[in-house]
Structure 1
């Protein structure tokens, strides 16, 4: 694999900004459609609508490292905006694993890309996982940021094992559907512009 060049990094930056904008729009819509559950299902809905961005990155910047950079930058933004510190880990780890699957494995092309996108999509679970697995530390971090008990109760109102399993399955379904939706949009609107 060739190394990333300056123009590749610029392109990844542009696609990362579009990816982040997509996440933000999905969050805004979910906030009105399913209030109280919007944060819990943002990874799945984002995966559904970000497939075309992923396809564009793979086609326009076919280099090991591009996926890792995109996912890591979003994870760093979560950290900078006050999310639980360990929320960054799944974002970076899943992005790197997606990169490895895409460029270092010998799976059939479609299987490889679908799998890498599924793994990449689970990176957005980073801010949510501490709700289930590090509750006390998460509560402590919220209190340290000046959040009151009412706010904390609201955050954990819908957190349960069933919702966790539903969120994980939803990401899988969203990523698979997102891949095919993204492939359709890419073929219809972008393929003729390939470099």
Structure 2
């Protein structure tokens, strides 16, 4: 685990963390927009989002190696769900709370400067992002009704019928986890220089590395 982890936050550090949290959220918003292409993409927009969301996620994880970084990210997603009225749906609320609480706990246990620890936290974060889609299997009637209101009856029928069954649910969750792992390594390749600078790839003390926005 990293030594001499800072405990106090400056206004700039909070602002930068919020900024990258919003970038992460925008990756998932873009994935949500894929749903307009059809029911398949409404479900599998999450794995697509995970392929690119790892870039802001891993950057801010490397830059701010302390407890609270991923909690701030989780709060941004919580506010997004609150503004969208999604938190009244129990699966969505549970998943959002998992994303709020657990990623920081994983990083604390495995090391804030650990790439593997951050990857595991990203896997947890990925599972926390399926709160809307999981309703296809755990609350299909409710999901069908919501889809009719938003996209029409044909869309809603295809969404439920094309994804019916436990096997389809398992395949979706596997796709989410695989995409999260791929997204982590895409981020590693894209961010090799800053991740090395902040000590996530070479084990150097991140305290010694100057930060830049």
Q: Specify the alignment match of 1:20 in structure 2.
A: 25
Aligned partners of 1:185 and 1:146: how far apart in 2? Answer: 37
Aligned partners of 2:118 and 2:163: how far apart in 1? Answer: 32
**Structure 2 residue ranges without an equivalent (≥5):** 198-208
Q: Specify the alignment match of 2:71 in structure 1.
A: 68
Correspondences of 1:96-111 after superposition (within 5 Å): 96-105=101-110, 109-111=114-116
Q: SS of the residue aligned with 1:37?
A: helix
TM-aligned CA deviation for residue 169 of structure 1: 0.4
TM-aligned CA deviation for residue 15 of structure 1: 0.7
Is it true that 1:167 corresponds to 2:172 in the alignment?
yes
Aligned partners of 2:210 and 2:35: how far apart in 1? Answer: 33
Q: Compute the RMSD of aligned alpha carbons.
A: 3.1
Aligned partners of 1:188 and 1:106: how far apart in 2? Answer: 20
Query: Which of the pair has the greater relative contact order for Cα pairs under 8 Å at 6+ separation?
Result: 1
Higher-Rg structure is: 2
Aligned partners of 1:17 and 1:139: how far apart in 2? Answer: 29
**Does structure 2 conserve the Cα–Cα contact (< 8 Å) formed by 1:68 and 1:92?**
no
TM-aligned CA deviation for residue 137 of structure 1: 4.4
Q: Note closer, same or farther for the CA distance 1:157–1:4 as it changes in structure 2 (3 Å cut).
A: farther
TM-aligned CA deviation for residue 106 of structure 1: 5.6
- Matching residue within 42, 49, 52 for 1:49: 52
Aligned partners of 1:61 and 1:115: how far apart in 2? Answer: 17
Is it true that 1:85 corresponds to 2:89 in the alignment?
yes
Q: Specify the alignment match of 2:182 in structure 1.
A: 177
Correspondences of 1:131-142 after superposition (within 5 Å): 131-139=136-144, 142=146
* Structure 1 length-normalised TM: 0.81
Q: SS of the residue aligned with 1:26?
A: helix
Is it true that 1:153 corresponds to 2:176 in the alignment?
no
**Does structure 2 conserve the Cα–Cα contact (< 8 Å) formed by 1:95 and 1:119?**
no
Aligned partners of 2:44 and 2:20: how far apart in 1? Answer: 22
Q: Deviations over 1:156-192 (max 9, x none)?
A: 2323223211110011111111111101111147766
* Equivalences, count: 192
* Structure 2 length-normalised TM: 0.75
Q: Note closer, same or farther for the CA distance 1:9–1:157 as it changes in structure 2 (3 Å cut).
A: farther
Q: Out of 77-86 and 54-63, give the one that drifted further.
A: 77-86
